[in-house]
A and B are shown apart, each in its own frame.
Chain A
Amino acid sequence: MTATLITLQLALTSTVLLIIIGTPIAWWLARSRGVAKIFIEPVVALPIVLPPTVLGFYLLLAFAPDGIVGQWWLLATGKGLAFTFSALVIGSIIYSLPFYVQPLQVAFENIEQSLLDAAATLGATPLDRFLSVVVPLSSRGFITAICLAFAHTIGEFGIVLMIGGNIPGETRVLSIALFDHVESMEYDQAHIMALGLLAFSFTLLTLVYSLNRRWQLRFASQS
């Protein structure tokens, strides 16, 4: 039960932080025409192709008490970073970033600049334009992005194992607990968890796709 709670807590925290961090990144990638985009775009997409263990390995080095991030964290909080819940959150954000940013970036790219120009000439400030035009017009992208980021964080394994260890009540999430059960031949518990994750992922994806279809119908004549 604790593993489920920690998993949900991790997914929720990471998703909320992703919305805050990922949305401006997606917007910048969608609108930027500069040279920097050529480098930033693949960096954001890296977690899709990289084995989670590779990312986990580097994060572990960085999070270690003498690592770049770990040192800073130790100074700021007085505690170590590796093998903590916070480390998992940071790892999840990095690992799930492309799953949040990419659908949103596509949605943002589909918004015509001229609509934003119209809003600007009606007196809307840049933030106002974003909230009153961009957000409602990319609600589909937001739902897809949020669901994918959430689901992906829940399903994460390799990175969690590398930087979180397996501390019950702190960093032991569902996927790790499942692995533990299988290792100790407790197939009944493994079944419950595996089936639960399967059902959850299936339901979420069904929801996303059906919402998308409904939206498509609603705005069919617009595009």
Chain B
Amino acid sequence: MQINAKIHLTRASGFTLAVDLTVKPTGVTALYGPSGSGKSTVLRLLAGLEHTKPSDQILISSDEQIWHADNQFTPPHLRDIGYVFQQPQLFPHLSVRRNLEYAVKRRRGNQDLTLQQVSGWLGIHHLLDARPTSLSGGEAQRVAIARVLLSGARCLLMDEPLGAIDYAARLQILPYIDGLHRVLDIPIVYVSHALDEITYLADDVYMLDKGRVTASGRIFDLASSLTLNSHEGDAVAAVIEGVVHTHDTDYGLSRLTLGSQSIYVSLCSQPPGTKVRLRIPARDVSLTLQAPVQTSILNILKGVVSEIETASAKPSLLVKIKIDDHYILSRITRKSLAQLELSPGKAVFIQIKTVALLTDPTQQVAQHL
């Protein structure tokens, strides 16, 4: 299912939301922004849960039907969507099993996952006979995700699903959400203000602020964008995707391929051939013009300078380097820039001190793009 939305609405408070959005038929489209930026309102509009005034101009359509137009409105139960709320919203009068059966009974018939499969996958087998009120936040949210999976939705809308649960439980659930669109082959719209969730999950990102889209595009492009990162100091990090090649248990390392080159990370559990995301902090990337010899740094790649942050008064600046089809960022001093005489198109060697595998979320620290 592909969703197209053109939203222009005004609230009595004076808040204006003006967003154009396309949700592609596969992958995760993320809406990222601070609270009050309007991202949840966009999601609720996609679901048909938000009240609008006749003066609001809204046009939302999925492939076959108009969902929301001037004189047309498809109610939520006819939109074939699934919605995961910040709070799990389990029915308190039903056991966990009956909550899941509630979805099965009303299934829209777009897939045939069984209750057993889904509860096994989300690790909630032992909770089936429990009352929702007795579950922890993380457990309840896993049940909520299971319930949505069983409803036969053709698109998943997730509104800060990890917003109300503790850090440890978040790390547990994140991989499940990441696996969702692979298991179900349906698009996910993911709303969050947590950057680590976005870099971990998103394929396409819409950055929202005060009701407007400030930037949008592929996560890899946004993470390596110089303009978006210009104010972010030490937190700047590029996100790239590599493929697991081989594991070296002797040294505790895994080798990933990155286009025609390769990069080492600490031993990961993913089998060879798996796509994994890497986060490379700009301050841990240094540049040389000659191939470094006899260095302790393991990851040395060849690349080409693609863009240089226009020099400001700051002592350091960001350089964007193209490595095959990937972009990473390096933070260097203005003095180094002058000494190396860097300019776009110049070939460089890149030394990377630390690489964090995003798919192992314990390694994530960044909170800002």
Q: Which residues of A contact B (CB under 8 A)?
A: 114-115, 117-126, 128, 132-133, 136-137, 219, 221-222
Contacts and interface: CB of A to CB of B under 8 A. Distances in A.
Interface of B: 47-49, 75-77, 79-83, 85, 87, 89, 91-93, 102-103, 106-108, 133-134, 147-148, 151-153, 157
B23 to A, nearest CB: 16
12 contacts: A114-B89, A115-B89, A117-B47, A120-B48, A120-B75, A120-B76, A122-B102, A125-B77, A133-B91, A137-B92, A219-B92, A221-B134
A134 B153 CA distance: 23
A182 B193 CA distance: 75
Chain A interface helix/strand/loop/mixed: helix
B77 A123 contact: yes
A119 B99 CA distance: 10
Contacts of B151: 121-123
A124 B87 contact: no
A117 B91 contact: no
Nearest to A123: B106
Given A122-B106, A133-B91, A221 B76 contact: no
Contacts of B152: 123
A59 to B, nearest CB: 39
Given A117-B89, A124-B77, A221 B107 contact: no
Contacts of A221: 133-134
Contacts of B107: 123
Contacts of A114: 85, 87, 89
Contacts of B48: 120
B89 A136 contact: no
Contact of A132 (B80, B87, B89, B102): B102
Chain B interface helix/strand/loop/mixed: loop
Contacts, number: 69
A123 B81 CA distance: 8
Given A119-B91, A121-B148, 16 more contacts: A114-B85, A114-B87, A117-B49, A118-B83, A120-B49, A121-B49, A121-B151, A121-B153, A122-B106, A122-B147, A123-B77, A123-B108, A137-B91, A221-B133, A221-B134, A222-B92
Nearest to B133: A221
Given A117-B49, A121-B76, A128-B106, A222 B82 contact: no
A221 B92 CA distance: 10
B47 A121 contact: yes
Contact of B106 (A124, A219, A222): A124
Contact of A115 (B91, B108, B147): B91
